Chain A
Amino acid sequence: MRKELSFITVIGLDKKGIVAKISNILYLNDINIEDISQKVMEGYFVMTMLVDMKDSKRSIDEMRAELEKLGRSMKLKIQIQHEDLFNTMHRI
């Protein structure tokens, strides 16, 4: 089955447990992490995760709601978006 790739973007202040908490949510929903990067940009801690949702128990909308809830509790902005958006905007 083809991969269903999406990017999770986390923006905010660095703190302990970000990767652990997000990874746990992904694991519980059968979502595989393909790649992780992190960097400080314009003063923000930024982390991106490329995830495969082909076996996911939940839709992208439900995952967004759950990640946003976590984001609110950790004072972080967390987004999830299908990878086609990035390929279209940044690759010809």
Chain B
Amino acid sequence: MAITIDEVYETASMILYQNFDIRTVTLGINLKGCIDSDFAKFKKKVYEKICYNAKSLVKQAEKIESKYGISIVNKRIAITPISIIMETHPSRRKFLEMAQTIDMAAKDSGISFVGGFGALVHKGLTDSDRMLIDSLPEVLSKTERVCAFLNAGSNVAGLNIDAVNLLGKMLKETARRSRTGIGCAKFVVLVNAPEDNPFMAGAFHGIGEGDFALNIGISGPGVVRSVVEKNKDCDFTQLSEVIKRTTFKITRAGELVGRELAKNMGVDFGIVDISLAPTTAEGDSVAKIVEGFGIEKIGAHGSTLAIALLMDAVKKGGAMASGNVGGLSGTFIPISEDLGMIDAVQKKALGLDKLESLTAVCSVGLDMFGVAGNTPAETINAIIADELAIGIINNKTTAVRILPIPKKKAGDLVKLGGLLGSVPIMDVNKYSAKKFMGRGGRFPAPVTSLRN
């Protein structure tokens, strides 16, 4: 059946008026083959491997943008978790030098971010992992395009509290060294981290992957918001249906772009991750979708149900549209990147406690929110641990990206600039969990892990 004018118009208006785009094409690269006992040679091999593949990614992605008239906003690289390949070079100076090498490779090849400067520590910390965490304040403040992550727990291993306890201090130090705490925006701690996540800051090329994998991130809060606004009076099932149908269509576009790009580059196509990821562009807001459902302000009672409905419908639409849907598919709810979320925090409709409950049903976690710079490190550790516990117990990925911004207090708004938007500083509970967190060790794997 021929494509109708209505269908052409629907696609055209998604792109023209509703900010629909391919949010990211992320090429995963295995760097294990670059390891060399001569550190200078090792760095050179890493630089060359990233540059060569990144340049090809940018060139091929631009060709596809042109063919389909659809913007691919970010071209990014994910690499093997760096602590693994740095095992034989465990020094802080070398970690920094490696980060600077990767940063330079990204700049020289036109890549906005490289993810994977991190470690898998869900069960324990190696010397290399500790060295990596030690190096992060310097790495995150002295490089622009390097993103770091830590996988601190998993369903089958439990939650590494000792690793979490290192983070509050590290993040405060990172914030102190970088302009308005922006370094912290490039670090995320997760549990059950997917090995093929295309989104930053948590992207890395998993150790179970092949030499290359191309993963696609699709967004489109504006498209979903538009369809919600056109269906003001339908009931919950119908609302879920219209979101599902729209998500199906935009995921199909991602699938097309991903398959063609992977084929043209001669690499394996990994997954399409359909995650509504807001930007500070007008209308590109997840909070506004929820408000379009009929909730006065996100954070009001009913918001958790609304996010659950949205999340589930997005996943179902995505699952039908692609043979390989990414594990994070659903919706991100960052604060700083979403004008509706910022407004809700400033109007006190949304606090940290309600945000935490929303993350129990959203696809990732507490994302891009600010706390006062004088928040005790152990309180930051406890905020992180609470969020990660939700993931461990509920068989899902959860993550935290927190900005403890020096000299700022609850109620302030800090401009981060660019894609990162502005971050409101949120109130934290003044009572302490210091003694509890200080027990250390590992939260054992939950009973749901005993499936064999």
Q: Which residues of A contact B (CB under 8 A)?
A: 7, 9, 11, 35, 37-39, 41-42, 46-48, 50, 59-61, 64, 77, 79-91
Which of A11, A38, A60 contacts B12, CB < 8 Å? A11
The winner among A7, A9, A59, A89 for most chain B CB atoms within 10 A is A89
A-B contacts, 30 of them at CB < 8 A, read A7-B3, A9-B8, A9-B9, A11-B13, A35-B2, A41-B9, A46-B9, A47-B5, A48-B5, A48-B9, A50-B3, A59-B66, A60-B66, A64-B69, A81-B69, A81-B70, A82-B67, A82-B68, A83-B3, A84-B68, A85-B11, A85-B69, A85-B70, A85-B256, A86-B8, A86-B11, A87-B3, A88-B256, A90-B3, A91-B1
* Complex-state Cα separation, A50 to B8, whole angstroms: 10
> Which residues does B use to contact A, with CB under 8 Å?
1-13, 15-16, 66-70, 249-250, 252-253, 255-256
Chain B residue nearest to A80 (CB atoms) is: B69
When chains A and B are docked, how far (Å) is the Cα of A87 from the Cα of B255? 12
Which residues of the partner chain B approach A59 to less than 8 Å between Cβ atoms?
Answer: 66
Contacts of A41 in B (CB 8 A): 5-6, 9
Complex interface: chain B residues within 8 A of A60 (CB): 66-67
Specify which chain B residues have a CB less than 8 angstroms from the CB of A83 in the assembled complex.
3
Task: Give complex CA distance A60, B65 in Å.
Answer: 11
Partner of A79, one of B2, B10, B15: B15
B246 CB, min distance to chain A CBs, angstroms? 10
Cβ–Cβ contact A61 & B66, under 8 A: yes
B9 in contact with A11 (CB, 8 Å): yes
Residues of B within 8 A of A88 (CB): 252-253, 255-256
Contact B68 A77 (CB under 8 A): no
Residue of B nearest to A47 (CB): B5
Residue with the greatest number of chain A CB neighbours at <10 A, chosen from B5, B10, B66: B5
B residues in contact with A90, CB < 8 Å? 3, 7, 10-11, 249
**Within the complex, what minimum Cβ distance (angstroms) separates A36 from chain B?**
9
When distances are taken between beta carbons in the complex, the residues of chain A under 8 Å from B1 are 91
